C-alpha cells in the first residue's frame, strides 16, 4: 500500500518532528509512506482567504493522481473508532486501492475543490487540535490501523 500525506505548512517543533519520524519508521514494514509539505500562504488580509485557499487547493491537487483514494481531514468529516478506521484501510486494500492520499489543509481549512475531490472526509475528533499536531495524530492512527489489521499487539 502506498500512502501519501499532503500537508500545508512545515513542522517546526522538534518534539513533533521526532514523533513524526518515529511513526514513519514504525510504518515502514506496513506501507510505503510519503509526506509532501506545501508551503502555506500567509493570509495578511482576511478578505483574501478564499483566493488563498483556491491557490493552495491547486497545489494540493497537482500531487494527486486520478486513481488515488483521497481522504481529507475536515472538521465536519466522518469520525471513526480506531477499529473502524483499520477496517476502512483493510477494505481499501482488499478492493485493490494502490494509493491512499490524506490531505491536511492549513489552519484556514481546505479549498472546496480539494474537499470535493475527497472520496472520504475524515474528522479526527470533535475537539480542536493545534494544526501541527494533526500530522502526528494521523500517523499514529495509521500505524495503529495496520497493527489492528495484522492482529499485532499495540498499547490501548
Give 155's pLDDT tier (boundaries 50, 70, 90): low
pLDDT band at 43 (very low <50, low <70, confident <90, very high): confident
pTM of the model: 0.94
What's the rounded Cα separation, in Å, for the pair 110 and 75?
10
Mean pLDDT computed over every residue of the chain? 93
Query: pLDDT tens for residues 52-76?
Result: 899 999 999 999 999 999 999 999 9
pLDDT at 125: 93
Collapsing DSSP to helix, strand or coil, 27 comes out as helix
Confidence of residue 44 (pLDDT cuts 50, 70, 90): confident
- Location of C-alpha cell 478564499: 50
Question: How many CA atoms lie less than 13 Å away from 146 in the CB half-sphere?
Answer: 18
pLDDT, residue 48, reads: 81
Cell of 2: 502506498
Mark residue 130 as left, alpha or beta (left: phi above 0; alpha: psi -120 to 50; beta: remaining): beta
CATH of domain 2-149: 3.40.1280.10
Q: For residue 69, what is its C-alpha cell?
A: 483514494
pLDDT at 47: 76
Amino acid at each position: 500500500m502506498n500512502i501519501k500525506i499532503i500537508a500545508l505548512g512545515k513542522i517546526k517543533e522538534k518534539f513533533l518532528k521526532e514523533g513524526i519520524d518515529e511513526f514513519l519508521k514504525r510504518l515502514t514494514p506496513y506501507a510505503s509512506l510519503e509526506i509532501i509539505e506545501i508551503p502555506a500562504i500567509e493570509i495578511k488580509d482576511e478578505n483574501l482567504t478564499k483566493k488563498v485557499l483556491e491557490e493552495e487547493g491547486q497545489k494540493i491537487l497537482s500531487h494527486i493522481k486520478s486513481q488515488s483514494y483521497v481522504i481529507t481531514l475536515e472538521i465536519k468529516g466522518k469520525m471513526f473508532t480506531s477499529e473502524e478506521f483499520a477496517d476502512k484501510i483493510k477494505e481499501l486494500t482488499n478492493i485493490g486501492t494502490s494509493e491512499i492520499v490524506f490531505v491536511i489543509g492549513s489552519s484556514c481549512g481546505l479549498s472546496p475543490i480539494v474537499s470535493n475531490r475527497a472520496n472520504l472526509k475524515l474528522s479526527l475528533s470533535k475537539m480542536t487540535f493545534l494544526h501541527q499536531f494533526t500530522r502526528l495524530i494521523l500517523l499514529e492512527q495509521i500505524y495503529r490501523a495496520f497493527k489492528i489489521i495484522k492482529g499485532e499487539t499495540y498499547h490501548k
